[in-house]
Structure 1
Amino acid sequence: MATKNQTSSSHGSSESDCKEIHDSWGRLNHIVQALASKNQLERLQIRETYMEIYGEDLISHLQKAQITSQSQSYESGLSPKMSAALSMWMLGPHERDAVVARDALDQQSDVNYKSLVEIFVGRKSSHVLLIKQAYQTRFRRQLDQDIVNIEPPHPFQRILVALAASHYAHQADVSQHIAKCDARRLYQTGEGRSGAIDETVVLEVLSKRSIPQLKLTFSCYKRIYGHDYTKSLKNENYGEFEDALKTVVKCIYNPPKHYAKTLYASIKGTTTDKGALLRVMVNRAEVDMDEIQKVFKKKYGMELRDAIFENIPSGDYRDFLISIATKTATDIS
């Protein structure tokens, strides 16, 4: 009985939220307040209830508001950037990652490999499978095949293919023995010999190990050889493959540090990855944003929300990002 009452109460709350959103297109702050504070399940309920009441998908309505604002001097009260932000926020995690992947690949010769790496490294295998399904449903394309078909070829491409393979078959439990063996192989085919790294060995390790297993391998590498594996990739004679591998390893080994640095570069405008700020804020909000903020403060001496406030122009978009930054991270169900 309690569960039924809770469900009824939740539905009633989402109806109220939907009505407030529907009546607030000219008062943007109400929309930001109504949506930015909601967790994933609450947003899903709002989206479903909005469809029931108004017969239209809320995300489609937000996207229309963006088009309207672009052509009619923001009569809807939604700036293009804000409409895009709210649309991304309202998507479920699998569909959102599918959209991020498509956007990354749509850059043609300037593919956003970093955002693709974050998907394959930062998600569980079960989640990656759902991303691929969402990608196929939404775009009528195969994500793996689109990565294989990237032109011109790039070292990131070979690494991504290996990471995609790693999500298909691997041991569920991590192994110290395997981690030590892989660490030694990486050393012997890298800094332990002269010349470039043996890409074949690296790609084999990446393709056959889970992300948790790879993280343990890099931890063992540091314990055995006294420094991070990424330090061995800084040889000035190395090329694009080693540079790409360094980015991937950092994302695997210390995700909060990787995302903190990505956020800082985006906030300061020192990166060409223009969508990084919104992508990381939305994608990590209910995963590890609390840990990212701790690293950010320790590394840069200021709170993430303060950095956003000081560096992002005032307005709806800044308010939205600050709202997300102040949320307490919760597990995605």
Structure 2
Amino acid sequence: MLLNKPKRKIKLMEICGTHTMSIAQNGIRSLLEENIELVSGPGCPVCVTPSNIIDICLELLKEPNIVIFSYGDMLRVPGSKGKRLFQHKQVKMCLSPLEALDYAKENPNKQIIFLGVGFETTTPGSAICILEAYKQNIKNFFFYSLLKRTEPALRTLLKDDPDIDGFICPGHVACILGEQGFQFLSKEYHKPGVISGFEAEDILCSINLLIDMINQDTPAIKNTYQRAVRYNGNQKALSLIHDVFEPETSLWKGLGNIEKSGLKLKDTYSQFDAKIYFQLPLPENKEPKGCQCANILTGKKKPIECPLFQKICTPQNPIGPCMVSSEGACAASFMYEERL
């Protein structure tokens, strides 16, 4: 595929961890002209989770009857003292929050906490789990919401860096939100966006469309992932999210506190809220010395510009979450792009 030539230097951002990995794996940056800068944004939910969440969980695990469930990558993120959740016998990896709920039913004398990490993609599954726990009146199941909303983060990004010229929009999130979920980019910020699939051809096509819209100064939201994304999104999933959760201010690594960018359980389901039941402290961002994950997540730095990259921080010994996650920019760059 021959790409359109931009009339000026442009900066594009992908905001999906799967796109980040596909871009690196397929060598897409090496195909771009020098005046096209393609940077990674906050597309990995594990990466944007506040740093001390692991420490909070490790403190909870001092109680022998507490068991914590979460997805795989979250369990490998190091706490402030280097300890990781997967090293603890009271921690279990799962693919669905319903696994944690089943465990709670089978072990009524234990307190089960599910770490709900993710964007809109995984939120409907969490909503189903909460509704099921409510229906069955499960007393020993708790949900620690680390869920994030995409739109407020993009607004904050553009406020912080108005020089981003266009976005490769996340296909997975768009399956839930639909094209309508990204219309604000072109209508309010005059920025083009393309909802993209995950194959190399999808991404190159999306970049081509972005260059064309920037050259013509005709920003819009285009959908090249029509095989999965509808204009109005998944209305049933959106209804589930609305029924169970409500927006709250949430802390993001690299972006700080963003109003209405997180999701908490509505009062009807507050009995399952781990933050309330266990009186958990507010999250904080305390980065390991030298770690540049916060700047990498906002496109201010590239992984190779981190002094820890490849020297100390590797997939075998990750220091920051961008190297831990299978969708992190540092892990993608380490495996497929940069070599010191």
The answer to which structure has the higher strand fraction is 2
The answer to which structure has the higher helix fraction is 1
Using the size of structure 1 for normalisation, the TM-score is 0.28
Q: Which has the larger radius of gyration?
A: 1
- Higher RCO (CA-CA < 8 Å; seq separation 6+): 2
Using the size of structure 2 for normalisation, the TM-score is 0.28
